[in-house]
Every structure is written in C-alpha cells, then in structure tokens.
Structure 1
Amino acid sequence: MSEHDAATQPPTLTRAERLDRLPFTRRHGRMLGASGIGWALDAMDVGLISFVIAALSVHWQITKGDASMIASAGFAGMAIGATLGGLLADRIGRRNVFALTLLVYGLATGASALAGGVAMLIALRFVVGLGLGAELPVASTLMSEFAPARIRGRVIVWLEAFWALGWILAAVIGTFVAAEGENGWRWALAIGMVPAFYSLVVRLGMPESVRFLEKKGRHDEAEQIVQRFEESAGIEPGGGGASAAGDSGVDARGTSPSAAANPSPSAAANASPSAATNPSPPAAGTEHRESIWSRGLRGRTTALWVVWFCINLSYYGAFIWIPTLLVDRGFDLTKSFTFTLIITLAQIPGYAAAAWLIEVIGRRWTLTIFLAGSALAAGAYGMADSETMIIAAGCALSFFNLGAWGALYAIGPELYPTAVRGTGTGAAAGFGRIASLLAPFLVPVLVATGTQVLAFAVFAGAFALAAAAAFTLPEQRGRALEE
C-alpha cells in the first residue's frame, strides 16, 4: 500500500465513538425506560418518608427530634451508599451495582412497614439509604456511557425527569394511602417493596457499560453490545454503516474493508486497542487509574462537591419538611398533602425546560440559571403568607430546583475519564449526602429560632453559592466522554 493510499483510509473508530455517532434508537429508549423506572422508584421511596413523618407526628406524636432522626438515618445511608456504589461500579460493573441497590432498598423499605417503634424505623431507613445513595450516580453513569454524544445531556435530564414521576407517585400514595387511618403509612411503605422485584428486570435486561467492559479486557462482550445498538440503528454490524457514517465503505468497527485487510504500519501503530476486533486484554495491574484529585481534575471536583452539598442541603431541607411545616401552620394532613402534591407537579415542566436548554445553551449555564432561580424561589416561599403564595412559590421552587438536579446529573459523569467516572460521580453524591443528613436537624432549629423565613433564607443562600460554583465547571456540551 502506498503512503497516499494509507493516508486516505478512513480513521479507525473506537467502540465508544461508534456509540457516540448513533442516533437515539429503540434500544436507547428501552435502556432509558429501564433506568428511569429504577430512578422513579428511588424518588418514590425518598418522597414517601416525608409523608410518613407527617403521619407519625399525628398518630405516634413523635417529636421533631425523632422526625429528624428518621429522615437523617436514610441520608446517612445515602452518603455511604453513594461513595461505595461509585467505587463498586468501577470495579464490578455499573449494571450489577444498579440491580443490587434496587434489591437492597426495596427489601428494607418493605421491612420498614413492619417497624414497631422509632428505633427500628431509624435502623431500617439507614439500610434503605445505602441502596438509594448508590443507585442514582451509578444509573446516571451507565446511561451517560451509552447516550449519543450530541444529545447526552438531554438524555440524562430525561432520566432525571423520572424523579418527578416517582415523587408525584409518592405524593399520590401519601395523600390517598398514608393519610388514611393509623396504619396508612405502613401500607405506603409496603408499596415501596416494588424495587426489589424490579431489580431482576434490571439485572437480566440491561447491558453493561461498553467502556467498563473494555477497561476489564472483556472485548468480545463489548463488541456484541455495540453491534446490537448498531443493528437497532439500522447499521449492519461488520458491514457498510452508511446510515451513520456516510458512504465511505466503513464497517461496524469504523474501518474500511481494504484497510482492515492491508493496514499500514502507521495505522496499526495508532489504532486504539478498544477498536480492534480481538484486542488483547490489559495485563493485570497495568491499568492506569487517575485520581479525582489529580491536578487536571481537582478544580472540577471541588466545584462539583460544592454544588452537590448546597443543593442537597436546600432540597432535602425544604421538601422533606414541607408537609410537616404545613401541618404546623394549621393545615390538616389531607390539605397539607394535597398542597405538596400540587407543588410536586411543577417538577415536570422544570425538567422539560432543563432538557431543552441543556443542549441549547449548555450544561454550565443551564445548571447556573436553575440554581439561581431556586435561590429566588426559596426566598419567596419563606415569606409566603397565604395559600396562593404558598402554592405559587412552592411550584417555582419545584420547577427550578428539579431542573437544576437534571442538569447536575448530566454534567457530573462528563467531568471524569472512564476509569474514575463512577468514583467521581459517586464521591460527589456521597459528599452531598452529608448535607442531606444535616438538613433534617437544621430545619427545626432554624424554624424555632427565626420561623420559616430564616430556614428558607438559608436555603436561598445555599442555592446561590451552588450557582456560583456551577459557573466555574467546564462546559462539556457535544464532547465525547474522556477515556
């Protein structure tokens, strides 16, 4: 082969590049649906506890301290679970950890329905939190590694939007089940066992991350998964691929037949191992593992941790306590839960707006704008003095806060290379859960000191700090995930 012929051969594509070039297919949709259902069940469980606490304050006359312990036990488990889940995802696989977390928190939630006292409920909520905390960053990492690069951010916001569906379901269950009689809260928690059964669907039906499989030297499995996604897009594996790559005679590996048969020395030297048909697995102990605190990553890690901490403090401080605070202001359980349901419905348009903006103005600006909007809405809710103002400001808080969550989950996995992607997203989530652990204790103190106004002023300040930190994160819109 002449130098001219070698120079004109199409470049070899890695499997990651082959996934990035695909359109959004039915297989992507099924994976998004499977991940999203797990995400919604997670949100349902987190949301249910706010209604359970309000119900127990009426039926068991639990103190504010007991209520704080019940909520914080779950968040303590989430802090540990998020960190361990990310580490495990980088070692045993994203799919395996995703399924395991669903099983753990589903069974523990069902057991919580049988709790005979506050102490047992607190212990079980900690176990629930272990599963909940690990599931979210792992699910977003797995989905981000399959989503086409040009719409990756939007896909992750769609995934995060399932949170709204789960929280709405929690509000419906809380309003029509938890509020019904002395044991209504038990039946509400019993419904939370659904994730335990759904974990089997996840384990059997979802593919493992191609990037993870390649890092572990499991190239045959990785190739089969990529080929199935290419088939779903109408590209014949091992054949022409013109629908995605143009009429260049490029096969499913991104290599022309002639180049594959007669590779040039330079092409062979530059070919990525992950793109080869049967590459050799890396030797044990030779895999490079960059730290999330290395020079190139420490700045983004710090900013991401600040955003996670502040958004957790404000979100869980507000939404875990809203039903109880409404009861304290004189509304009965049914009216308090109905107000909360209406406020929760505003999450859906918030996610929709974030999903559109994230690919139009980028991740950084979307996250910053929605966090700033959350700060203003939190301040307005703190000063709300009528039913109309409570609902209006609450809906605005739901809209901006959950839109910010969607952008945050989209930007997190894009900040790290494959070897530490699960670790980076999990560690940030774990650090954020420390704030969610503190929030349930903080709210009663702030309300007792300066009424609801002071509590929501603190939340507004935390949102503003998160917005400032978000603005320092690098913009990753349209870029391929780092290897």
Structure 2
Amino acid sequence: MSTTPTTPSTPTSQPTPPETGHEGGAFAWLHALGPRGRRAFTGAFGGYALDSYDFFTLPLSMSAIAAYYGLSSDQTGLLTTVTLVVSAVGGVLAGILADRIGRVKALMITVITYALFTILCGFAPNYETLLVLRGLQGLGFGGEWAVGAILVAEYASAKHRGRTLAFIQSSWAVGWALAVIVYTVVFELVDQDLAWRVLFWTGALPALLVFYVRKNVTDAPQATERRLSTTRRGSFGEIFRPRLLRTTFFASLLATGVQGGYYTLATWVPTFLKEERGLTVVGTGGYLTSLISGAFTGYLTGGYLTDRLGRKKTIALFALLSAVCILVYTNIPAGSNTLLLVLGFPLGFCMSAIFSGFGSFLSELYPTAVRGTGQGFTYNTGRAVGAFFPTLVGYLAGGWGVGGALVFGAVGYGIAAVALLGLPETRGRELV
C-alpha cells in the first residue's frame, strides 16, 4: 500500500498569503512569510544562533582545556568528534519527534538539551566526564537546525525558500561571532584555568529562547494537516524504502563532505592561529572576525544564488571554491599574517555559502510526513561521519602540523561534489 501523503488541491507551501505591497525588494521573502511565519523565523533564527554559540565554546577553549588536563592533540580532537557523532543520534531523534509531535515542541526540546549539557561541561572534574557531557550536548545540538529549518520551510514560498532558509543558516555566524566576543572578554579577564569553565557556563543563554518559542511560535497549519493525515509520519524505515533510498544515501554523502570540510576548519583554525601563527587571544579574535564576517556574507549571498542558479549548481560552485581557499589559506608563508587576515574573509565566505541551500534542498527532497526524519537523519549522519575529519587532523597534527593536516578539509568538498550527481534539482518545488 502506498504511504505517500495525500496532496491537497490547494497550494501547500504557504499557509499565510503574502502581504500586498511587498512583492519585490530584498526582503520580499520576509514579508511573504506572514505574521506567523515571521515569528517562526525569529524562533528558528535564535535557536540556531545559540546552537552555534554553545558549539563554539569548545573550539575556542580547546587550547586552555588541553593545558588544564594535559591532553594531546588527538584527545582534544576527540571532544569535537564525540559531539558530532552523538549529534547524528540527536538529529534522527529530533527529526522523528518533529514528524510525530510537531516542529515547535521538538525545537524546544533540542534547545533545552544543548543548553543544559553545555552548562554542565563547565563543571567537568576530568577529561572523561567532559567527553561524556560534550557528547550528550550533541543530542540537542544535532536536532535543532533540522527542526528549525523545516518549521520555517513549511511557511516559506517556493520562490523564496532558498534565501529564507539561508537567513536561518546565517544565524550560525551570529552565534559564532557572539562566542568569539565573549571568549575574548572572558579569557582577558579570567585566568584560563577558570575561563574555559566560565565560557561553558554562559551556555545557559539559549534557555531564555524557550519562553519566546512556547508563547509565540506555532507549526504551519497546512503542513500540520498534511503531517497528521498519514499514520506513517515519523517512520524511520520509510526513508530507506526504494522510493527514498537513493535520496537518503546521496543526501547523507553530500552532508558528510560539506560538514567534514567545515568542522575541520571550525575546530582547528583557532588552534592553528594561536600555536602555529603565534597570535594572542585578542589577535586570534581579530582574525576570526575576518573569517566570521565572510561567513555571514556568504550565507546571505549563497541564499540568493540558490534561488537563482538552483540548489545543485550553487553547492557545486562553493565546494570548488572552498577547497581552493583551504589550500591557499593553510599554505601562506610564515610571517605573512596580514595576508592571513585578508584571506580569512573569502575562506569564511565560501565555506558558509555552500550551506545556504541545505535547508531548502533537504526540505524539498522529502514529503511532509517524513521531512523531519529525512532531514534530521541525512544532515546529522553527515555531521557524524564528517566528525572524523577533525580527529584525523588531530592525529596527523603531530607530524604534519595543524596547518598541513587541515588540507584534508578539501577532501570533504570533493566528496560533496560527487554526491550531487545522485540528487535531483529541486528549485521551485512545492512542499507536499
């Protein structure tokens, strides 16, 4: 018996009609969401920004944690790997929950989870406890983006979905920037043996967002109606049935390549700047500002391109450019730190622009009844497998140096380009 949800005869991608007078312009996508959609956008944007903030408490503190516990580079790399591997489990669970109990309820659960375990990381008495707590933080970290992206995608029109979801993705750079600012202040004012704990404790911030979401945000009505119309909503096995198996495989491979490249850089660039380039805490913050500014600009630019060029062409373009930027950035001669600062912007731009189409692309690949399950599984499987890239860099850093080992990030982008060959173009597709 077919399990494909019944498609309503009326348009399904936009539960609230666009407001008149705003059909053009740079922010037409925002007006088209309608009041409910804009509140959902605010909740998802804040959730992902704070998700990013809590994630970066670890990479920014990595040198201090390594010194405090006397860790090797492979042990510190394992902290990131555990987070990302467990995030795959969290992503799958959150996706299933989103299909079964709704997007908003699942979103609140993920935010509370990653905030709680980030705080607890600051109390870890030893490395082993920190490793466990950081892994548990990954449960919430893994699910938040998939749930928030689907929530907004189901309000967005097909015409504007790419740029709408790209703005959600750009909140990652906002959270990253906030983490760098707080890191710079905390590590300047507090001895580093305590400073890394304080930085983890500031991870309590996301809990405040839950109050806003609970009071103001609701699931898209027509998407909810479609989701509830089938008894197979949130079925994990459904995404491996013949009609979706190919999509699930290649979408997971795509996510693996892109995130393998990204998390290699996100995890090790702060250490690279401090240990191999000899930058101070304030100096590292300045160089990261260049990288983050490029990232924010890249997210927004990539969003417009994904609606104009299509999902696949945009991802392929920035996969190539990201690989080139990594090779150039890590091979800048010693003593050329000014050039390192300048090239941080295009590196951040390219490695972030490639993500701009992910929210819309993955949402469009799956039907409503298993959209959360499919997107949660593929995106976070990519995180889990891609997580071994930072660990590999950690193992190789002893002999190659961090800069030399970082070139493995470029391999990830090559994998992503190959994965695109097995996926259809979805630009303009209505959500059913």
TM-score, length of structure 1 as denominator length: 0.78
1:199 aligns with 2:219: no
Find the aligned partners of 2:138 and 2:268 in 1 and give their Cα distance. Answer: 18
Please tell me the residue identity of whatever aligns with 1:322: V
**1:157–1:355 CA contact under 8 A, matched in 2:** yes
Could you say what secondary structure the match of 1:405 adopts? coil
For 1:26-175, list aligned pairs within 5 A: 26-175=35-184
**1:51–1:337 CA contact under 8 A, matched in 2:** no
**2:104–2:217 CA contact under 8 A, matched in 1:** yes
Find the aligned partners of 2:298 and 2:387 in 1 and give their Cα distance. Answer: 25
Aligned to 1:348: 296
Find the aligned partners of 1:298 and 1:135 in 2 and give their Cα distance. Answer: 24
- Unmatched runs of 5 consecutive residues or more in structure 2: 1-7, 19-31
1:317 aligns with 2:264: yes
* 1:37-62 Cα shifts (integer Å, max 9, x gaps): 01100011112211111222344443
Find the aligned partners of 1:288 and 1:351 in 2 and give their Cα distance. Answer: 32
**1:20–1:149 CA contact under 8 A, matched in 2:** no
- Please report how far the alpha carbon of residue 434 of structure 1 lies from its aligned counterpart in structure 2 after TM superposition: 1.7
Please tell me the residue identity of whatever aligns with 1:478: G
Find the aligned partners of 1:303 and 1:408 in 2 and give their Cα distance. Answer: 13
The equivalent position to 1:210 in structure 2, one of 200, 204, 221, is 221
Farther off after superposition, 293-302 or 72-81: 293-302
* 1:91-114 Cα shifts (integer Å, max 9, x gaps): 111111100010111111122222
Please tell me the residue identity of whatever aligns with 1:429: Y
Find the aligned partners of 1:391 and 1:472 in 2 and give their Cα distance. Answer: 37
Aligned to 1:231: none
CA pair 173-436 structure 1, distance change in 2 beyond 3 A: farther
Find the aligned partners of 1:25 and 1:17 in 2 and give their Cα distance. Answer: 12
- Please report how far the alpha carbon of residue 369 of structure 1 lies from its aligned counterpart in structure 2 after TM superposition: 0.9
Aligned to 1:304: 251
Aligned to 1:242: none
1:335 aligns with 2:283: yes
Aligned to 2:408: 458
**2:307–2:427 CA contact under 8 A, matched in 1:** yes
**2:81–2:384 CA contact under 8 A, matched in 1:** no
- Please report how far the alpha carbon of residue 384 of structure 1 lies from its aligned counterpart in structure 2 after TM superposition: 1.7
The equivalent position to 1:392 in structure 2, one of 342, 359, 365, is 342
Please tell me the residue identity of whatever aligns with 1:465: I
Find the aligned partners of 2:376 and 2:258 in 1 and give their Cα distance. Answer: 15
1:368 aligns with 2:379: no
1:185 aligns with 2:196: yes
Could you say what secondary structure the match of 1:19 adopts? coil
**2:263–2:390 CA contact under 8 A, matched in 1:** yes
Please tell me the residue identity of whatever aligns with 1:184: A
* 1:286-326 Cα shifts (integer Å, max 9, x gaps): 99998223333333322211111111211111111111122
Farther off after superposition, 163-172 or 426-435: 426-435
Aligned to 2:4: none
Farther off after superposition, 38-47 or 187-196: 187-196
**2:99–2:233 CA contact under 8 A, matched in 1:** no
Could you say what secondary structure the match of 1:428 adopts? helix
CA pair 471-186 structure 1, distance change in 2 beyond 3 A: same
**1:178–1:186 CA contact under 8 A, matched in 2:** no
**1:90–1:423 CA contact under 8 A, matched in 2:** yes
Find the aligned partners of 2:380 and 2:181 in 1 and give their Cα distance. Answer: 29
Aligned to 1:470: 420
Find the aligned partners of 1:73 and 1:144 in 2 and give their Cα distance. Answer: 29
CA pair 353-216 structure 1, distance change in 2 beyond 3 A: closer
- Please report how far the alpha carbon of residue 430 of structure 1 lies from its aligned counterpart in structure 2 after TM superposition: 2.4
- Please report how far the alpha carbon of residue 73 of structure 1 lies from its aligned counterpart in structure 2 after TM superposition: 2.5
Aligned length: 407
Find the aligned partners of 1:52 and 1:153 in 2 and give their Cα distance. Answer: 34
1:19 aligns with 2:30: no
Large movers: runs of 4+ above 4 Å? 284-290
* 1:383-412 Cα shifts (integer Å, max 9, x gaps): 122212322333222101111112122211
Please tell me the residue identity of whatever aligns with 1:83: V
TM-score, length of structure 2 as denominator length: 0.87
**1:105–1:196 CA contact under 8 A, matched in 2:** no
RMSD: 2.4
Find the aligned partners of 1:408 and 1:175 in 2 and give their Cα distance. Answer: 31
The equivalent position to 1:405 in structure 2, one of 347, 355, 365, is 355
CA pair 302-213 structure 1, distance change in 2 beyond 3 A: same
Farther off after superposition, 435-444 or 93-102: 435-444
For 1:378-457, list aligned pairs within 5 A: 378-385=326-333, 386-452=336-402, 454-457=404-407
**1:113–1:186 CA contact under 8 A, matched in 2:** yes
Please tell me the residue identity of whatever aligns with 2:84: F
For 1:160-309, list aligned pairs within 5 A: 160-180=169-189, 181-182=191-192, 183-215=194-226, 217=228, 291-309=238-256
Q: Percent identity?
A: 28
CA pair 185-470 structure 1, distance change in 2 beyond 3 A: same
CA pair 188-304 structure 1, distance change in 2 beyond 3 A: same
Q: Which has the larger radius of gyration?
A: 1
Find the aligned partners of 1:128 and 1:42 in 2 and give their Cα distance. Answer: 10
* 1:125-150 Cα shifts (integer Å, max 9, x gaps): 11111001011111111111111221
Aligned to 2:28: none
